Amino acid sequence: MIGFDYGTSNCAVATMQNGQPKMLTLGEHGKFMSSSLYAPSRDVIPNWLHKNINEPYKSTFANSRGFLISKGQEALEDLRYDGIPEHLSFGKSALERYLDDPSEGYYIKSPKSLLGTSGLLPQQIVFFEHIVAAMMAHVKHHVEEELQHDVTKVVIGRPINFQGRNSEQSNKQAIEVLTNAARHVGYQDIEFQYEPVAAGFEYEASLKQETRVLVVDIGGGTTDCSMLLMGPELMNKADRSAALLGHSGLRVGGNDFDIQLALKGVMPNLGINGKLKSGKPMPVNSYFKAVAINDVNAQTDFYSDANGRFLEQLQRDSEQPEILGRLLKAYNEKLSYQLVNSAEQAKILLTESNSNNIDLGYLTENLSQDVDRNLFLEASENQLNSIAKLMSEAVNQGGAEPDVIFVTGGTAKSPVINDFIKSKFGNKPVVVGDHFGSVTAGLSRWAETIFK
């Protein structure tokens, strides 16, 4: 039995050994695999999945996905004819293959953030199911290789809400995708646990007395808050419903901070603050859609033929057509992920330094942009205010002030974000957990509790 954090930014797995969670090594990825996938063609993903799962799941998958496997076979033959590697890549190697030639292949980062999207067509839902299953199969292979036995029982982490709008339907859709994907790859007993509750379970192991804890989990795709009653006497109880005092969650996380920093720190170099020859300000809708990598519909609109024609006309109408040429390059070469990745790397560097330089040489030779923490704070204002509301909502549901605030999630590593959280609670103690491992460890604790 394992706890599986299928995260927006990273995937991680832990199992209980000698009463303590042990993070497992996922092959070449180490303990954390970046949540990204690259395929030379999106059509070959079902074929890779069929090849890389075991019986009887292989036969079941073939029976339900025969048409898509046949379609993928044609794509595989084209790849072989052109001498293009047909394998899928995951984690950092997926990003490397994408950056090697952004205009070719299919790359997706953080598919979890898209699973609850409203308005997805049935074939789109099946497509995401295959992406998730491929990533799960890759992780499961490494887990079973390390443990030297099959793993069939899993607790998977989930946010409070996958999306802000139509949250009930969104959550149902996302959970169904995750459940179906897990079944495809051979998990038989599948349970879910809220990610902030799981993080709370890990913090609870250090408590000596009953404590009201506000868990603030700022992940890659969502921020989730839970008010929990925790302590030694509550540990190992399978029914914790009376101790779960309040929950709140919203799709605002690391991806959103990256996107906002891209808009503030990168997009001025593509003309977002420019003017048209008429003197009117530059229309900004295409700039927002260009970096909205967590919005399927926005990305579809940005890369549509109609938007390509619109951008060409916008370049002709611009006071600085050479600058608009960079936006057209982003369109033609499918650079959305590269633009946001530039902002993400800058955000990470701002954790250790007050300022740094973003290399934008892939747009124009020798182009770069300086960014600092003040710019990041300005870009993040709306996201930080949303997080403050979530914290207040969870506390209000709990009906009492927390004794301690436990902060986790990779995005919370940022001093800008951390200082903001501390400023909201005055003299309340703020404990910072393992930014990347608390949820995974807590999921493994819960797996032992409910499956033993």
Give the pLDDT score at 413: 85
Give the pLDDT score at 13: 98
Do 209-253+381-433 and 2-195 fall under one CATH topology?
yes
CA distance 215 to 202: 11
Averaged pLDDT for residues 356-380: 96
Segment among 198-207, 307-316, 332-341, 413-422 with least mean pLDDT: 413-422
pLDDT at residue 323 above 80? yes
Give the pLDDT score at 48: 97
Give the pLDDT score at 357: 95
- The single-letter code of the amino acid at 363 is L
Averaged pLDDT for residues 147-163: 95
pLDDT digits (tens, 9 = 90+) for 387-404: 999 999 999 999 999 999
- The single-letter code of the amino acid at 74 is E
What's 2-195's CATH class? alpha beta
Omega before 56 cis (within 30°)?
yes
Give the pLDDT score at 165: 63
pLDDT at residue 298 above 80? yes
CB 226 within 8 A of CB 196: yes
CA distance 140 to 442: 19
pLDDT at residue 426 above 80? no
- Report residue 427's pLDDT band, with 50, 70 and 90 as the boundaries: confident
Segment among 10-24, 329-343, 415-429 with least mean pLDDT: 415-429
Give the pLDDT score at 270: 98
pLDDT at residue 236 above 90? no
pLDDT at residue 222 above 70? yes
What would the 3-class secondary structure string for the chain be? Answer: CEEEEECCCEEEEEEEECCEEEECCCHHHCCCEECEEEECCHHHHHHHHHHCCCCCHHHHHHHHCHHHHHHHHHHHHHHHHHCCCCCCEECHHHHHHHHHCCCCCEEEECHHHHCCCCCCCHHHHHHHHHHHHHHHHHHHHHHHHHHCCCCCEEEEEECCCCCCCCHHHHHHHHHHHHHHHHHHCCCCEEEEEEHHHHHHHHHHCCCCCCEEEEEEEECCCCEEEEEEEECCCCCCCCCCHHHEEEEEEECCCHHHHHHHHHHHHHHHHHCCCCEECCCCECCCHHHHHHHCCCCHHHHHHHCCHHHHHHHHHHHHHECCHHHHHHHHHHHHCCCHHHHHHHHHHHHHHCCCCCEEEEECCCCCCCCEEEEEHHHHHHHCHHHHHHHHHHHHHHHHHHCCCCCEEEEECHHHHCHHHHHHHHHCCCCCCEEECCCCCHHHHHHHHHHHHHHC
pLDDT digits (tens, 9 = 90+) for 51-72: 999 889 999 999 999 999 999 9
Greater confidence (136 vs 235) lies with: 136
Longest Cα separation, the chain: 71
- Report residue 226's pLDDT band, with 50, 70 and 90 as the boundaries: very high
Q: Are strands 244-250 and 355-359 parallel, antiparallel or unpaired?
A: unpaired
What count of other Cβ atoms lies within 10 Å of the Cβ of residue 157? 28
CA atoms within 13 A on the CB side of 360: 27
- Report residue 422's pLDDT band, with 50, 70 and 90 as the boundaries: confident
Averaged pLDDT for residues 221-233: 94
Give the pLDDT score at 433: 80
What's 209-253+381-433's CATH class? alpha beta
pLDDT digits (tens, 9 = 90+) for 81-130: 999 999 999 999 999 999 999 989 999 999 999 999 988 999 999 999 99
116-153: buried (b, 16+ CB within 10 Å) or exposed (e) per residue? bbeebeeeebbbbbbbbbbbbbbbbbbbbeeeeeebee
Q: Where are the domains of the chain?
A: 2-195, 209-253+381-433, 255-379
Averaged pLDDT for residues 279-308: 95
CA distance 216 to 409: 8
